[in-house]
Structure 1
Amino acid sequence: MATPARVIVWSTGGVGSIAIDAVHRRPDLELVGVWVHSPDKVGRDAGELAGIEAIGITATNDADALIALAPDAVVYAASGPERDAGAVPDYLKLLGAGINVLSTSTTSLVYPPSYFATEWRDQLDAAARAGDASFYASGIFPGFASDQLALLMTTQSKNIRTVTATEIALNDHYPVADVMMDGMGFARPLDFEPMLKTPGFIEMAWKAPIHLIAKGLGVQIEEINGTLDREVTHRDIEVAFGTIPAGTCGAVRTRAAGVVNGREAIVIEHIIRMSRDVAPNWLTSDCDATYRVDIEGEPDIHCAMTMGAAEGHAAGHAAMAATAMRAVNAVPYVVDAPAGLLSSLDIPTTLPRHAFE
C-alpha cells in the first residue's frame, strides 16, 4: 500500500469540519494538523471541534508549526470578510514551502487564467513553481455544478447553441444580515442598490466558470454581460436574519452571459429566494438547492441535480459536504499533478477513493 498523503485542514468551520472527518477516515490520507483562527479553539482536540470523537490532534493557529510538519497538502477552507486578501498570503507561504493547496475559499481561482487579481495570480504561480507545488480551487457552485458538470453534459453534444448552468436556492436559513441585505438587497426596497448592483460585480463573480467552460470547449469569450433582477414579496417573511417586510425584495436572480461568436452562449444563473412563493415566474424547485444544466443544441440536454432532503435545510449541509469533498477527493490527484495553478481541466476527474462503507 502506498504511503498515505499527509494532510492539514485549514479551519474548522462547516466545510473544514467535514473535511477533518473525511481525511481522518481515509486510509490513503493522514490528518497531521488543523489550523484554527479563534484563540479559544487553540489547544483543543480537532475532532471535538469538528463535532466527532477526539482524534488526538491538537488545533493550532501557528502556521509555521504546521508547515514544519511537512504535509503533502493543505485543504484550505477558511472563510470570512477578507476572503482572498486574507487567504492569498497563506497560499503563498504554503506553496513556497512546497505544500500543495486545495482551496474551497477562493472560488474565483477555479480557472486561474481568468482570475481578476492578476498580480496575485502571478505571485501564486511563481510560488507554486518555486516550491514545486500545485494549487487547485473547487467547490459546488462554482467548482462543479456551474462548470465541470456542464462540460460533462456537453460530451453528448453534436452541436451547441447555448450552455446554461443554474443554481436555484432557498436561503431563508442564512443568518448574516449584512450579506443578505446590503450585499444582495433582501428586505430592501427595489430602489436600494446592493453590492450586487455594483458595475462589473456580477461579471467578475462568474467569469471563472464561464471561461473554464469556454476553454474546455475550445472557444473564446468576447465579453461577459451581467444582469440583476429582483422581485418583491407580497407578505412578511420570517427568516434567519430577521423579517423581510411585504413590498421589499424577497428573491434575487443574477445572470452572467459569456458571448461567443457575437451571441450569448455560456450562461451562469443564480436564483435565491427567501420563500418558494416569491418570483413564481422564475425557475423553481421543490428542493432547497437545485443545480441545473440546460444545453440548447443537438441534442437538447436538461440535467437537474438536487442535494439533501427536499426540505428542512438539509441541502445546506449537503452543499457544504459536497464542497468539502471536492477538495478532499482531489488530494491524491493534485499531489501527483505538475507544479502550478490548476483547474479541473488539468487533472483527471477526482473520483473518490475509499468511499464505500
Structure 2
Amino acid sequence: MAQKTYRVIQWCTGVVGKAALQHFIENPIYDLVGVLVTNPEKVGKDAGEIVGLPPTTGVLATNDVEKIIALEADCVHFAPIVTDVDLICRLLRSGKNVASVAGPFSRQHYPEQFAKIDAACQEGQTSYHACGIHPGFSGDILPLTLTRLMNRVDHIQVTEFIDKIRNPMVYTEMMGFGRDPDELLAKPSRSPEAPFAFAESMAMVAEGLGKTIEKVTTKLEVAKATQDIPYSLGVGLPDTGVVREGTVAGQHYEWTAWADGAPLITYHFYWTMGEHVEPKWDLDSRYQVVIDGDPALEVRLMARPDANGVRPFLGLPWTGLVGATAMAAICDAKPGVVTHIDLGVVQPHGLVRR
C-alpha cells in the first residue's frame, strides 16, 4: 500500500529544529520542500549539510520569509526561540498546518493570540498545534497516560532536571546564572508569565481526571556556586563565561496547580551548573513523574548513557521530535486549534526503516 506523504517546511534550525529537520529528511512519509534559517552562515546550504547528512536533498536553506510562505506545502514545523503569532497566522492563512514548539500554548491566558490563530485556521482551512517535551509530553501526555495504572490519584509531580555544565545551552545566560542570589529571588530572570506556558498542560491533566484548577502557586529557591564555574553555551564550544563563587549556580522553580483546596499537580524545574553548588541537587538530567496515590508510582524518562557513562539531556531534540512525529496527524486533523486530546493516540508512521 502506498504511503500518504506530506510536504513539509522546517522553520529555524537550532538544536530543536535540527532534530526535526533530520527526521523530515530521513522519514519517507515527508517531502522536505523548504528550510528557513536565521543564521547567515547557513543560507544557501543544503538541508542535509545542516544536520550532518549528505548534501543531497536539493533543498537549500534561505532566510527569505516571503519565499518560504509562498511555497506549496502541507505543514510547517515552527521552531524559533521566541514565538511570533503574526507569522504563525500568515502560515496558517497560506494553507499550511503549523506545529509550534514555541507556543502559544494556553488559550486561557492568551485569548487574543488564540483568537487570531482561530481566524487564520478558518481562513486557510488549516490546523495549529502547540507541542514540545515540556509542555507537550512529560508534563501532560506522560502523566495522564500513567494515571491509567492508578486506582486513586492524590498528587502528581513532574520534575525536569538539567545539569547545564554537562548539557550547555544558550539559555544559561538568559536564565540569570551568575546573578546575585537576593537580586534573582527578588526579580527572577524567568518571566512571571512562564507558568502560563505550562498552564494548558496542567489543565489538560486536571480535566482528564475530572477536576478544575482553582489556582496556581509559585516558589523559587536558588543554589550558590562554591567556586568559580566556567561554562560554555554549546557542546564543543570553548568556555564563554564564568559563574562566580557565591552567585547563582542553581535554580529550582516550583509551580503547583490546586484543585479541591489541595495540591494536585506540581511542576519542578531543577537547573544546576554542575556539582560545585550548595545546596546540592540531582545532576542526573532527566524528566521524572511521581504520582502519590494507590498504588504510588515513579517513572523516569532519560537518555541512555553515552560512551563515558553520562546520560545526555535530550529535552531539546525531543522537543523537535515530538512535534515532527505528530505532523501527519496535525495535517489530517480538522481545521482549528488541535490539542493532545483532539489528536488522540498519535501513530507516527515512517519510524521503522532499515
Q: Same fold (TM over 0.5)?
A: yes
Query: Do the aligned partners of 1:206 and 1:256 also contact (CA within 8 Å) in 2?
Result: no
Query: Do the aligned partners of 2:223 and 2:279 also contact (CA within 8 Å) in 1?
Result: no
Distance 1:65 1:313, change over 3 A: farther
- Among 212, 235, 254, the alignment partner of 1:220 is 212
Matched residue type, 2:70: A
1:95 match: secondary structure: helix
Matched residue type, 1:25: E
* 1:104-143 matched pairs, under 5 angstroms: 104-106=101-103, 108-109=104-105, 112-114=106-108, 116-143=109-136
Sequence identity (%): 29
d(CA) in 2 for partners of 1:38, 1:197: 26
d(CA) in 1 for partners of 2:42, 2:194: 36
1:186 is matched with which residue?
Answer: 177
1:145 is matched with which residue?
Answer: 138
Q: Which moved more, 1:273-282 or 1:54-63?
A: 273-282
d(CA) in 2 for partners of 1:23, 1:189: 43
1:221 match: secondary structure: coil
Gaps in structure 1 of 5+ consecutive residues: none
Query: Do the aligned partners of 1:145 and 1:165 also contact (CA within 8 Å) in 2?
Result: yes
1:247 is matched with which residue?
Answer: 246
2:271 match: secondary structure: strand
Q: Deviations over 1:255-288 (max 9, x none)?
A: 0000101111111110011113535565x24x3x
Matched residue type, 1:212: M
Query: Do the aligned partners of 2:302 and 2:311 also contact (CA within 8 Å) in 1?
Result: no
Tell me by how many angstroms 1:151 deviates. Answer: 0.8
1:196 match: secondary structure: coil
Gaps in structure 2 of 5+ consecutive residues: 233-239
Query: Do the aligned partners of 1:101 and 1:134 also contact (CA within 8 Å) in 2?
Result: yes
1:337 is matched with which residue?
Answer: 333
d(CA) in 2 for partners of 1:313, 1:121: 41
d(CA) in 2 for partners of 1:306, 1:263: 30
2:200 match: secondary structure: helix
2:73 match: secondary structure: coil
Distance 1:39 1:275, change over 3 A: closer
Over aligned residue pairs, what C-alpha RMSD do you find? 2.3
d(CA) in 2 for partners of 1:215, 1:191: 37
Query: Do the aligned partners of 2:287 and 2:302 also contact (CA within 8 Å) in 1?
Result: yes
1:315 match: secondary structure: coil
Give TM-score scaled by structure 2 length. Answer: 0.88
Query: Do the aligned partners of 2:164 and 2:172 also contact (CA within 8 Å) in 1?
Result: no
Q: Which moved more, 1:137-146 or 1:203-212?
A: 203-212
2:91 is matched with which residue?
Answer: 94
d(CA) in 2 for partners of 1:186, 1:35: 31
Matched residue type, 1:292: Q
Distance 1:346 1:279, change over 3 A: farther
1:204 match: secondary structure: helix
